[in-house]
């Protein structure tokens, strides 16, 4: 059985999926057609139901939950992993700078934008950029502030940019929970046995990656956009953890809390479908 699978070329995703797509594990008869896209493109593909299995932002999941169900493996949650707001110049009090500023965001439906909206609901002047272009947009003065994700957490200071606020820390202080960033979903229209098979294979792929961390190095590097190996592995260590193997009760509770707060704040519509694969 061949399935359309989409994930980002970022090191955390290529680390997770390497064993699965290169058949280093038993894929139980499943084969995959692979699509590599940035997270906002993957979100849009999920809205169109282009893929059978895909990585997406938890924010975006709220808008396609009727068509996809969240797998127990493959998610990115954690502490100290949240998006950062950066500026070209030091900012002493972040609460004073947002209302009239232009903010570059990595996509309307990213979890980063969701968190920013929770922290600063009054800010409306947002411009969407590819996540990897946001630092340069801030440096050039095209925008006042940038909302950065992924490996840019490790590069912004080298470019002379300044952290204004860590939205992951904002979430953790507000809730005490890990921050849910993104997950792997499968089409609800797939039969239940296939969905569970996908989840099992994905878990085996994550476990293989942890047991053999250097196995996929060339594959990971080939998609890492000339990223230094040190940054590449920092990226993996930050975003791939126990929640990537299995959400567990703690991970599921964090995701449910995220959705609850988003609904209460009017950021997403009410979600009636069950979020998790059962």
Please indicate, yes or no, whether residues 169 and 187 belong to a single structural domain of this protein: no
Phi, psi for residue 87 in degrees, rounded to 5: -140, 160
Question: Residue 23: exposed, middle, or buried by beta-carbon count in 10 A (0-12, 13-18, 19+)?
Answer: exposed
Please indicate, yes or no, whether residues 63 and 189 belong to a single structural domain of this protein: yes
Tokens 């099992």 identify what position? 200
C-alpha 126/C-alpha 68 separation (Å) is 28
Q: Does 57 belong to an annotated binding site?
A: yes
Please indicate, yes or no, whether residues 158 and 185 belong to a single structural domain of this protein: no
- Reported as a pLDDT band with limits 50, 70 and 90, residue 134 is very high
CB-based contacts of 94, cutoff 8 Å, min separation 6: 85, 164, 165
Beta pairing class for 76-78 and 179-187: antiparallel
Which residue segment(s) compose the domain that 215 sits in?
2-78+180-264
Q: Does 142 belong to an annotated binding site?
A: no
Residue at which a domain ends, from 159, 175, 191? 175
Number of domains in the chain: 2
CATH of the domain at 208: 3.40.190.10
Q: What are the structure tokens assigned to 91, written together?
A: 């900012």
Mean pLDDT across the chain, nearest whole number? 92
Give yes or no for residue 267 having a pLDDT over 90.
Answer: no
Active site residues: 150
Q: What are the structure tokens assigned to 104, written together?
A: 């570059």
Q: Does 112 belong to an annotated binding site?
A: yes
CA dihedral 98, 85, 244, 63 (to 10 degrees): 30
CB 224 within 8 A of CB 9: yes
Looking at 9-23, 54-68, 119-133, which range is the least confident one?
119-133
Confidence (pTM)? 0.88
CB 39 within 8 A of CB 83: no
Please indicate, yes or no, whether residues 184 and 74 belong to a single structural domain of this protein: yes
Residue at which a domain ends, from 175, 196, 231? 175
On whether residue 269 sits in a domain, the answer given is: no
Between residues 86 and 91, which one has the greater pLDDT?
A: 86
161-207 pLDDT, tens digit each: 999 999 999 999 989 999 999 999 999 999 999 999 999 999 999 99
């Amino acid at each position: 059985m061949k399935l359309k699978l989409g994930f980002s070329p970022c090191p955390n995703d290529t680390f997770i999926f390497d064993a699965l797509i290169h058949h280093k594990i038993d894929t139980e008869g499943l084969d995959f057609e692979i699509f590599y896209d940035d997270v906002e493109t993957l979100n849009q593909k999920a809205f169109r139901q282009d893929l059978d299995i895909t990585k997406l932002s938890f924010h975006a999941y709220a808008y396609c939950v009727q068509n996809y169900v969240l797998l127990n493996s493959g998610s990115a949650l954690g502490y100290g992993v949240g998006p950062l707001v950066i500026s070209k110049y030091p900012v002493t009090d972040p609460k004073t700078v947002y209302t009239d500023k232009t903010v570059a965001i990595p996509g309307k439906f990213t979890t980063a934008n969701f968190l920013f909206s929770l922290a600063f609901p009054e800010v409306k002047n947002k411009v969407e950029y590819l996540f990897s272009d946001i630092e340069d947009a801030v440096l050039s003065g095209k925008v006042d502030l940038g909302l950065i994700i992924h490996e840019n957490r490790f590069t912004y200071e080298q470019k002379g940019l300044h952290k204004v606020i860590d939205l992951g820390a904002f979430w953790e202080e507000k809730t005490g929970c890990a921050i849910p960033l993104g997950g792997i979903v499968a089409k609800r229209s797939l039969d239940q046995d296939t969905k569970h098979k996908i989840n099992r294979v994905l878990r085996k792929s994550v476990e293989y990656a942890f047991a053999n961390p250097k196995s996929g190095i060339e594959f990971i590097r080939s998609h890492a956009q000339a990223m230094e190996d040190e940054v590449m592995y920092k990226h993996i260590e930050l975003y791939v953890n126990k929640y990537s193997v299995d959400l567990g009760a703690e991970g599921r509770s964090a995701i449910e809390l995220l959705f609850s707060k988003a609904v209460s704040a009017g950021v997403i519509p009410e979600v009636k479908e069950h979020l998790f694969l059962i």
